[in-house]
Amino acid sequence: MIINNKKSIAVLPFQNMSSNKENEYFCDGLTEEIINALAKIKELSVTSRTSSFYFKGKKVTAKEIKEKLNVATFIEGSVRLSKNNMRITVQMIDTVEDFHFWSETFDKNPEDIFQIQDEVSLFIAEKLREHIGHLEIEEKLVAPIDVPVEIYREYLKGRYYLMKFDYENIVKSFSIFDNIIRKEPNFPNPYLDVNLGYAYMGTLGLLPAYEAFQKAQPYLQKAIYLDPNSARTQLNLSYIECWQKWDLQKAYEHANNALDFQPADDIYLTISNYLTVEGKLDSAQNYLDKALQLDPFSAMNHHYKGFLLYLQEEYKNAIPYLQKALELNSSLPFPPLYIGECLFLTGKHQDALTYYKNLEGVPVTDLTQLGGLAMCYAIMNDLEKCNEKIKTLENYLASEKMDKAFNFLILVNVLLGNYDKAIDFVEQAFQNHLPLVLLLNTEPIVKPIKNLERFKNIMLKAIPDNVNYKQKKKYKQALLNSDEIEKYTKDLEQIMMDYKLYLNPDLSLKDLSSYLELPANYVSQLLNQGFDKNFSEYVNTFRLNEFKERVLLEENKALTIMAVAYDSGFNSKTVFNTFFKKMEGTTPNTYLKNIN
């Protein structure tokens, strides 16, 4: 397996070596802080918490980490904690060569917790830079928090229970956070965590969504007041702008602010959500792929991959991702709905009916089973049973489940051919400002009503920048002006570095245009005027630089020149040799002899 990014790392959960099992929370908190600290280094790709903690308590090899997380290095360590001393042992392993290239032991006073987190994070970053190449590292990676150490340790305990993400432990964490808030009312973290807990319970149906949102609001507002510029606060502000205020421009601004503070998979996933709402599915896929790269064991990331394939009407390809999401988190409520829809939209009506009838683990009040059966009966033309389910769904319109009820009533009526009735429900949902309206924009089942004037008008009110209904731009003859060329050259360079697109041997001009969201003609002009290169020259320059880095690595000494060239993105011996000689003025063989 070829590692996509040499500057990539995972931090596995630190092992608790103390006799007191309660110190588990401290180990998890330390691991999470180191992950967050390393994620601040722009050039470094850091596996997210969910995927790192997937390996907690498991004995794993370097080969398994390489294959499952696709990282070049990983950190493992342990903590032995007593009243007056803390010993942290850290070691770094190269997954390609499978060797420990350094280890270090820190003996510290437990009271110096913030200094310890920063010192360990900086030490890891420095050793990583020595091993993999240049990284821009700030003087401090972990800023001290202005609360007493005993309060912070109590906070880590609350965080430990919260991140178990089941009802009992979330409620337990709330008790700890509320106690901290009484003692330290100006500490923003517990407010954000209570908000996160309620959001999770509302999303997964552990509480009615409306009730969860109402309970979360005061905590979120206080967190925003205390710390408006953190990544987590900006992300929450982004959610509000999109799903409550329907202002996508501001939602993007806050999400991009969060991304600047700390590149993380949930932020990439969030931006993918917004692109989906607008109908920009190719771009949404690009951001989701980045989220999956950072967190390949996130159930939500796998669900969304399946959801995007569903929206693109690739139903058979969607099902494995939706099933994988349930395998990772069986309580996730979204995948079952789309698995059933994928079945009946591929003609497997009876299979879909059986699937919905036998649903397990999804609460009845979630309405997935009820709505799923209603859609099956509609598509199978069993009107008696369908109408019975419709009446039950209508009973939920005055409840906290009104958003789900409206969604299913819209879909069922479209399947029945009752288009006016379906649009009546869309209008009511719009008047109630329900977020489901935004998701109708790309829903395949509503295709029969998408070009009806009433539906189009609602969609344009909800999403003014709607690519499905906006008139196509009449591109000016001059294409890009000088300011736009300057902007997009920077954007393209960042995209090439973030996604390493040049490693794809089949990369096309069209692929670049989808990332930049520009027509291919514009991108062609951009390459010509912004870089003085055509497409092949531009991409092959990245591949050549990649080759020159890879060919010097000890791990590649046994490979042929062309094997390294192919790993660097070249797909032709002739193209590689010709381009190499043109740029370097010599052959690859002579070049290697001169530098060895």
User: What are 172's two structure tokens?
Assistant: 């337990």
Amino acid letter, residue 288:
L
How far is residue 60's CA from residue 12's CA, in Å, rounded to a whole number? 10
pLDDT at 477: 46
Measured CA to CA, the distance from residue 303 to residue 444 in angstroms comes to: 17
Q: Within 204-280, where are the H helices?
A: 209-226, 231-239, 248-261, 265-278
Identify the pLDDT of residue 479: 67
Q: What is the residue-wise DSSP string for 334-366?
A: HHHHHHHHHHHHTT-HHHHHHHHHT--SS-GGG
Q: Is 99 left (phi over 0), alpha (psi -120 to 50) or beta?
A: beta
Q: Could you give the 3-state DSSP secondary structure of residue 556?
A: helix
Superfamily grouping for domain 482-595:
Homeodomain-like (1.10.10.60)
**CATH code of the domain occupying 263-462:** 1.25.40.10
For every one of its 596 residues, what pLDDT tens digit does the chain have, with 9 covering 90 and above?
A: 556 677 889 999 999 998 777 788 889 989 999 998 998 887 888 999 889 999 998 888 999 999 999 999 999 999 998 878 889 999 999 998 888 888 889 998 888 888 888 898 998 888 888 887 788 888 888 888 889 989 998 999 999 999 887 888 999 999 999 999 999 999 999 999 999 898 888 776 677 767 888 898 999 999 999 998 888 889 888 888 888 888 888 999 999 888 888 888 889 999 999 999 988 888 888 899 989 989 999 999 999 999 999 999 999 999 999 999 999 988 788 899 999 999 999 999 999 999 999 987 655 457 899 999 999 999 999 999 999 999 999 999 988 788 889 999 999 999 999 999 999 999 999 998 888 899 998 999 999 999 899 999 999 888 876 666 654 444 444 567 888 888 888 889 888 887 788 888 888 888 888 788 788 888 888 888 888 888 889 999 999 999 998 888 887 888 889 988 988 989 888 889 888 988 888 899 888 888 76
The residues of the chain that CATH labels 1.10.10.60 are 482-595
Q: What gap in Å lies between CA 434 and CA 45, rounded to an integer?
A: 36
Question: How far apart, in whole angstroms, are the C-alpha atoms of residue 569 and residue 544?
Answer: 9
Q: 208 with 184: CB under 8 angstroms?
A: no
Residues of the chain with CATH 3.40.50.10610: 8-132
Give, in words, the CATH class of 149-227.
Answer: mainly alpha
Residues 6+ apart with CB under 8 A from 5: 45, 70, 71, 72, 500
pLDDT at 221: 92
Fold of the CATH domain 8-132: Rossmann fold (3.40.50)
Distance CA 440, CA 459 (A): 8
SS3 content of the chain, % helix, strand, coil (to 5): 65, 5, 30
Secondary structure of 112-158 in the HEC alphabet? Answer: HHHHHHHHHHHHHHHHHHHHHCCCCCCCCCCCCCCCCHHHHHHHHHH
pTM to 2 decimals?
Answer: 0.73
